[in-house]
Structure 1
Amino acid sequence: MHSALESSPTRRAARSPWAALAVLMLPVLLVSVDNTVLSFALPAISEALAPTGQQLLWIVDVYPLVLAGLLVPMGSLSDRLGRRRLLLIGGTGFTLVSALAAFSPDPAALIAARALMAVFGAMLMPSTLSLIRNLFTDPTQRRTAIAIWAAGFSAGAALGPVVGGFLLEHFAWGSVFLLAVPVMLPLLVLGPVLIPESKDPAPGPVDPLSVLLALATMTPLVFAIKTLAATGLDALVATCLLVSVASGVAFVRRQLSRPSPMLDVTLFTRPVFTGAVLANLLSVFSLVGFLYFVSQHLQLVSGRSPMEAGLVLVPGLVVTIIAGLLAVRLVRRIAPATVITVALGLNSVAFALVALAGSSGSDLLLLSAFVLLGAGVGAAETLSNDLILSAVPAPKAGAASAISETAYETGAVLGTAVLGSLLNLAYRTHLQLPTGLTDAQNATASETLGGATAVAGELPEAVAAPLLDSARQAFDSGVLLTSGIGAVLMVIAAVIAHRTLRAAA
């Protein structure tokens, strides 16, 4: 019975695995486009909805936060119910909620819509990577397919600023969320035809308590990090950290005690697996943290339009794609540990360039730094995902994919939460407000650079000019701080990768 369950999907997949891969790229492109477009839409959202600094962070963070908590449960569920089935359910829901997000009347509604998008997004991403694991059984073909999968993130990120920039210059900010409709419709039509169904032939039961424990581990952790940068260590932050640690310990113990755990935590006893997960998480941390401040700098400090800002970043995003595909060839002659270590080192150099340049840094320097960062992220992401997937048998691909995606989204949320919160803290600390502002204007300008820019538009030139100068200098002081921290973290990541991944073939 076991062989019968697995043989049919294998035979069908062998006929057109690359066509199936092309369809699987659609949700990957959508998620990456959505993340990049949102970064470039932040100034427009700030002006239209007037969110506070915390609300602005939550608009960005709530999606990866909820997603990170649900990826492991959804990956496990896809192994049980069918990966293609969950992919199509997620695609349908994601498209509908994205359309609703486009017409959010206030920050709270947009945050709620983004949270609901994450529920359906959690069904998409583990399914795509686990289906690839089952479509391609040959290691070289699988590694190439994963490189294309990782390049899909970069291609979407490259497409997002350009398409998003065009939309933001001609339409309201909500138009960036409507991109989901034309991207996802082909998946919903062609997916049932081209993608073979696959699932674990001997799945364990769904464990609701483990789902709750996973959420209770991730949500308070990220909230604590965000709040710590804004208010310092207080009773709320301490409580959230305690809840997160207690829930995490309970989750691990429950997985170890169950005959069919939702997540095989013993995988983390393997140095290569753990090192690959950390490399995945920290490389995404660097990418998202960099994009958070560079997209705002290019528009609100350099004065570029959203389209122009997007075009500045395209070379780096193209390099990300090339680096991912090149890494497949490099590991035929060079150990994966060496490639990943060098890649993370490039990330560190990129942040160091920004930090060392100081306030004199130009857009050309930011472009150069992002090219280096793209090369590092492209190679590290491709190889770390391959190492994670190759560590488990094909029937458990959904759970392994979920771990990989959880690392990706955790890195994304921490990149924004840690570096974004520190940037906002530095901004508020160094901002000097001119006299003559109302209390409401003071509050808005003190929250974010976008808020200060919006307030300046309401003021006479004599007051607006010093406000903008101070706001931009305060923002760049935060960029210098976060770049220095990013450089140090990437050095640490490179050391960890070198020590843990040496056993990888």
Structure 2
Amino acid sequence: MTEQETTTTSPARAGRREWTALAVLSLPAMLITLDNTVLHLAVPHLNASLNPSGLQLLWAVDIYSFLIASLLIVAGTLGDRIGRRRLLLIGAVGFGVASLLTAFSSSAEMLIVSRALLGIAGATLTPSSMSLIRNLFHDARQRTVALSVWITCFLVGGAIGPLVGGVMLEHFWWGSVFLLSVPAMVLLLILGPVLLPEYRDPRPGTIDFASMGLLVLSLLASVYGLKKLAVEGIAAVPSLILLAGLALGVWFVVRQRGLTHPLLDMGLFRERTFSASLGGMGLALFAMSGSQFFIAQYLQMVVGLSPLEAGLASLPGSLGGVAGSLFAPVALRWMRAAYVMTGGLVIAAAGFVVLAQAGADGGPATVMVALGLLNIGVSPTVVLGTDMMINSAPPEKAGAVSAISDTSHELGLGLGIAVLGSLGGAIYSDRVSGELPAGLPEGAAASIRDSIGNAVDEISRLPEGLGTAALDVAREAFTHGLVLVSVVCGVLTVLTAFMTLGLRRVPAAVGTGESEESKETGESGRAGGASTELLEADGRTTD
């Protein structure tokens, strides 16, 4: 085929095999985010079983997201070298085994290690899935639909986590929620080799292991320092750890600029559409995940719902997330992507206003309304932000952009839990310390100050009158923390809306592959609208 024929012939359209393969690839997307949120609902049961400290609980919840975020770019690079399908299947084995270890953890330390292994395995699944989607769907518009479906599954997994977890916790022990991943990974291992072709880059360049180490250490040190400062206040050791993490991050950036084959191409961030979309997605998920960490505990420990009832109360959020992600591409018929994203974030900000009205003696209705508004408002930013990032980059950078997009998702989710969780925990501890009733044993008072989960467990062993008074204080303090965190999230969401509004020059159509500049000049060199086959555009080969 001549070069002219290659550039003028329409790419092959996907058939039943490709769409079936998409369904298989959607499994990891759904399970990765489901595992990120399902633990929120299990916190009260986990507290009673393993008795973790407040800091151990935060690590158990968010080390999963942090390791995924820090290893996604590494995993994307590795997949280009050993094969994307091969890495996906290796990750499926690791994710299944780590899920079993997590389900049967017998101590807080074992749970943290198991969740870390889950994060390492999960980091191999997401970039492999997105890269294979881009290889399976050569037609630009079909690829946009496929990507939207995949992202919807990503959002659905996070949204249904509380509901699925509630059903499981109603009948089984807390670790059972992690067994859901095992049959799904087995199905992926069976169908993957049949439906998914193998792709790898024949000229990937050398692997810079020093950059890999700098990226992981920078992220973990920075987050650990932030968490310790939020829980313990200003202190020398966590401050030094935070500064060391930031210094490693600067070193990583400087190193990338001097490498022929950098782990992360810093030139991508000079594209305004790319940077604004990336920042908008990360900040929106940061606010949403931090608030949902508190909501799951509020519904059970303050309102007093059972796990199943709390899961059902989260159903409006699930439906809102699905509705928002599916409506976003449809809304582009009437308005630009920036206006859809900004409008959604305004709705999310209204959700935080509603959430700030929650009271220690109120029912679940306020939270249910807030969850619906939050999820329907944030999901358009995630869906359209991802598509705009991919379309803003040249075709040869498609793999890197996919990994960076996934990193933004996971880092936003993890940092939201870590930073906002630590902030809310600090507010709770400070409020409880000044209002606990007299006569409490010192050990019981320390446990109540540590976290709301420990408080509920400890109070059950106190005399009825004293326990009731202490429980009222703990619930009021936790609700106070939830309200203040909601205010912070609402302000942050409004600021994010102004950021996405700055993307209004980007055309409304998603998947056309044209930026505003390319429409004016007649050029269409973007990834989403290339009419050449993706393998030729990316320079990839297939086995």
Q: TM-score range by the shorter chain?
A: over 0.9
For residue 470 of structure 1, report the CA deviation from its aligned partner. Answer: 0.6
Q: Is residue 471 from structure 1 mapped to residue 442 from structure 2 by the alignment?
A: no
> For the residues of structure 2 that align with 1:338 and 1:124, how far apart are their CA atoms?
32
Q: Indicate if the aligned counterparts of 2:277 and 2:500 stay in contact, CA closer than 8 A.
A: yes
Indicate the residue corresponding to 1:120 in structure 2: 121
Indicate the residue corresponding to 1:380 in structure 2: 381
Q: Is residue 438 from structure 1 mapped to residue 441 from structure 2 by the alignment?
A: yes
> CA offsets, 1:112-153, max 9 Å, x none?
111111111110111112222222233322222222112112
What amino acid maps onto 1:215 in structure 2? V
> For the residues of structure 1 that align with 2:502 and 2:464, how far apart are their CA atoms?
57
Indicate the residue corresponding to 1:481 in structure 2: 484
> For the residues of structure 1 that align with 2:383 and 2:261, how far apart are their CA atoms?
29
Q: Indicate if the aligned counterparts of 2:317 and 2:368 stay in contact, CA closer than 8 A.
A: yes
What amino acid maps onto 1:401 in structure 2? S
Q: Indicate if the aligned counterparts of 2:28 and 2:126 stay in contact, CA closer than 8 A.
A: yes
What amino acid maps onto 1:385 in structure 2? T
Cα pair distance change 1:144/1:293, threshold 3 Å: same
Q: Indicate if the aligned counterparts of 1:165 and 1:307 stay in contact, CA closer than 8 A.
A: yes
Indicate the residue corresponding to 1:108 in structure 2: 109
Indicate the residue corresponding to 2:232 in structure 1: 231
Indicate the residue corresponding to 2:66 in structure 1: 65
Q: Indicate if the aligned counterparts of 1:200 and 1:396 stay in contact, CA closer than 8 A.
A: no
What amino acid maps onto 2:462 in structure 1? L
For residue 240 of structure 1, report the CA deviation from its aligned partner. Answer: 2.3
Indicate the residue corresponding to 1:317 in structure 2: 318
> For the residues of structure 2 that align with 1:184 and 1:259, how far apart are their CA atoms?
37
For residue 13 of structure 1, report the CA deviation from its aligned partner. Answer: 6.4
| Higher share in helix | 1
> For the residues of structure 1 that align with 2:159 and 2:100, how far apart are their CA atoms?
22
> For the residues of structure 2 that align with 1:361 and 1:420, how far apart are their CA atoms?
22
Q: Indicate if the aligned counterparts of 1:293 and 1:420 stay in contact, CA closer than 8 A.
A: yes
Identity of aligned residues (%): 43
> CA offsets, 1:254-278, max 9 Å, x none?
2221222211110000010001111
Indicate the residue corresponding to 1:81 in structure 2: 82
What amino acid maps onto 2:277 in structure 1? A
What amino acid maps onto 2:460 in structure 1? G
- Aligned residue for 2:314, secondary structure, equals helix
Q: Indicate if the aligned counterparts of 1:134 and 1:394 stay in contact, CA closer than 8 A.
A: no
Cα RMSD after superposing both structures: 2.1
Gaps of 5+ in 1: none
For residue 478 of structure 1, report the CA deviation from its aligned partner. Answer: 0.2
For residue 61 of structure 1, report the CA deviation from its aligned partner. Answer: 1.4
- Aligned residue for 1:205, secondary structure, equals coil
> For the residues of structure 2 that align with 1:376 and 1:137, how far apart are their CA atoms?
31
What amino acid maps onto 2:463 in structure 1? P
What amino acid maps onto 2:465 in structure 1? A
Q: Indicate if the aligned counterparts of 2:34 and 2:158 stay in contact, CA closer than 8 A.
A: yes
Judge which range, 126-135 or 366-375, deviates more. Answer: 126-135
Judge which range, 49-58 or 134-143, deviates more. Answer: 134-143
For residue 443 of structure 1, report the CA deviation from its aligned partner. Answer: 1.9
> CA offsets, 1:27-67, max 9 Å, x none?
11211221221010011111111111111111111111122
Q: Is residue 498 from structure 1 mapped to residue 501 from structure 2 by the alignment?
A: yes
Alignment of 1:28-427 (within 5 A): 28-356=29-357, 362-394=363-395, 396-427=397-428
Cα pair distance change 1:307/1:357, threshold 3 Å: closer
For residue 354 of structure 1, report the CA deviation from its aligned partner. Answer: 1.7
What amino acid maps onto 1:456 in structure 2? I
Q: Indicate if the aligned counterparts of 1:12 and 1:196 stay in contact, CA closer than 8 A.
A: no
> For the residues of structure 1 that align with 2:130 and 2:351, how far apart are their CA atoms?
29
TM-score (norm 2): 0.88
For residue 502 of structure 1, report the CA deviation from its aligned partner. Answer: 3.0
What amino acid maps onto 1:95 in structure 2? G
> CA offsets, 1:52-108, max 9 Å, x none?
111111111111112211111111211222211111111110100110111111101
- Aligned residue for 2:194, secondary structure, equals helix
Q: Is residue 449 from structure 1 mapped to residue 452 from structure 2 by the alignment?
A: yes
Gaps of 5+ in 2: 508-514, 516-543
TM-score (norm 1): 0.94
Cα pair distance change 1:266/1:361, threshold 3 Å: farther
For residue 465 of structure 1, report the CA deviation from its aligned partner. Answer: 0.8
- Aligned residue for 2:200, secondary structure, equals coil
Cα pair distance change 1:284/1:129, threshold 3 Å: same
Q: Indicate if the aligned counterparts of 2:356 and 2:484 stay in contact, CA closer than 8 A.
A: yes
Aligned residues: 499
Q: Indicate if the aligned counterparts of 2:163 and 2:311 stay in contact, CA closer than 8 A.
A: yes
For residue 320 of structure 1, report the CA deviation from its aligned partner. Answer: 0.8
Indicate the residue corresponding to 2:462 in structure 1: 459
- Aligned residue for 1:16, secondary structure, equals helix
